[in-house]
Amino acid sequence: MTPDFEQMWRDLVPVGRSATTGGYRRQPFAAAERECVAWFVEQAQARGLSVERDRFGNLVAWWRPEQAAGRDAVLTGSHLDSVLDGGAYDGPLGVVSALAAVDALRDRGVTPARPLGVGVFVEEEGSRFGLACLGSRLATGATTWDRARGLRDRDGVALEDAMAGAEVGSADLLEGVGCFVELHVEQGRDLVDRDVPVGVASGIWPHGRYRFDFTGEANHAGTTRMEDRHDPMLGYAVTALAAHKQARLSGGRATFGRLDVLPGATNAVPSQVTAWLDARADTAEHLDALVGSVARMAQERTDRDGTSVTVTAESVSGPVEFDRDLARRVAGARSRPAIPTMAGHDAGVLSTAGIPTAMLFVRNPTGVSHSPAEHAGTADCLAGVDALTAALQELTA
């Protein structure tokens, strides 16, 4: 007997959860995420699925019945890494639901006529190496290994070195994949407002991460007269307020959620402030305009302060419109609402790479995500598994 959805969920809940915040720290190639991956491999093996890995740390557990040989595959799955202090559902819900859907198909006596894979993409959140959806970008070729290998985490460890102990393979996991369906917890309250447990995605807003390096002059916090300072924190502070205001005015999103200050002493004017802007908008033009206006305001303020700023785009994703026909098939007989999302997903990367892609969203009563408050009720999760099972049955028929 393979464990059911609820048992699998209970297995994963403690892995990487902070005893103080209740949030998850499942950073790629670190202990907690590796434990989740090992758990996944065990589950796949218990089901007789064959696990294949690529050289980047992505993996797919395949169900390849004889009758499916030579036909385009259907891929499902999600990711097991988390943002820093993230919630339990973002990523793992799609992986656990996919395994539960395989079980449900078998319980129904269904043998897929196409290979069916449950995938786990590495570093979806970009929480360690800064590049969102790193695993799927590498798998699709959207990012090259030459660019990625030298990315460094906050401790200066390069991706290539972080991966040194990880089990990798040489499979091209996306070869022969005809479509991808990712189930995900909703990261807003659209489904709550509509009072439905499961929806499908229509598209993803363009979004990006931009590093703002503000440079000034370190000096004594007590003896340096206010008018003599070149304090880069001021440029940052004004820019953070400007970003908030510009996003509100334009209907976009702008967030500074990460900051490094050098030398980081309470009694010293800083020499350097590095801040990361996460910006999103409904069109690529609106995103460019939003980031451009924030960068201009940063420039104006730093000119006044005798400091400087440089802006570097670290990770930018264009707009995604999911395959409408696939979305209709995934929605099934039910008329599930089709909703846009402002969150990034591996599904967006695969879609951009030309693989017909769809997403199922499961209602999140808090609407909160990237936080320990992220949630989905068990009944809704099971409704998600049902929806995914039906979709996979239809797509592999």
Cα distance between residue 12 and residue 7, in whole Å: 9
The answer to whether residue 94 forms part of the interface with ligand GLV (CB under 6 A) is no
Which of residues 95, 105, 281, 343 is near ligand GLV by CB under 6 A? 343
Using the rule CB under 5 A, give the single segment among 29-37, 87-95, 290-298, 322-330 that binds Mn ion.
87-95
Residue type, 182: E
Give min distance, CB of 214 to ligand GLV, in A: 23
Pick one of Mn ion, ligand GLV, none as the site partner of residue 33 (Cβ within 5 to 8 A by kind): none
The answer to whether residue 92 forms part of the interface with Mn ion (CB under 5 A) is no
Closest by CA to 173, choosing from 320, 281, 73, 317, is: 73
Tokens of 120: 């786990």
Which of residues 132, 173, 298, 338 is near ligand GLV by CB under 6 A? 132
Which of residues 28, 77, 119, 344 is near ligand GLV by CB under 6 A? 344
Which residues are paired to 121 by β-bridges? 79
Give min distance, CB of 27 to ligand GLV, in A: 14
Pick one of Mn ion, ligand GLV, none as the site partner of residue 384 (Cβ within 5 to 8 A by kind): none
**For residue 373, what is the DSSP state?**
T
Which residues are paired to 323 by β-bridges? none
Q: DSSP string covering 207-266, please?
A: EEEEEEEEE---EETTTS-GGG---HHHHHHHHHHHHHHHHHHHT-EEEEEEEEEES--T
Pick one of Mn ion, ligand GLV, none as the site partner of residue 75 (Cβ within 5 to 8 A by kind): none
143's CB contacts (< 8 A; 6+ apart) are: 131, 134, 137
Cα distance between residue 369 and residue 380, in whole Å: 16
3-class SS string, 87-121 = CCCCCHHHHHHHHHHHHHHHHCCCCCCCCEEEEEE
* Closer of 186 and 305 to Mn ion (Cβ): 186
Which of residues 33, 54, 81, 90 is near Mn ion by CB under 5 A? 90
Using the rule CB under 5 A, give the single segment among 89-97, 138-146, 307-315, 347-355 that binds Mn ion.
89-97
* Closer of 235 and 344 to ligand GLV (Cβ): 344
* Closer of 235 and 384 to Mn ion (Cβ): 384
Tokens of 386: 């049902």
Which of residues 91, 112, 115, 206 is near Mn ion by CB under 5 A? 91
The answer to whether residue 125 forms part of the interface with ligand GLV (CB under 6 A) is yes
Cα distance between residue 9 and residue 22, in whole Å: 16
Give min distance, CB of 87 to ligand GLV, in A: 11
Pick one of ligand GLV, Mn ion, none as the site partner of residue 190 (Cβ within 5 to 8 A by kind): none
Pick one of Mn ion, ligand GLV, none as the site partner of residue 91 (Cβ within 5 to 8 A by kind): Mn ion
Q: How many CB atoms lie within 10 A of CB 223?
A: 7
Contacting residues toward Mn ion, per CB under 5 A: 90-91
Positions that interact with ligand GLV (CB under 6 A): 125, 132, 343-344
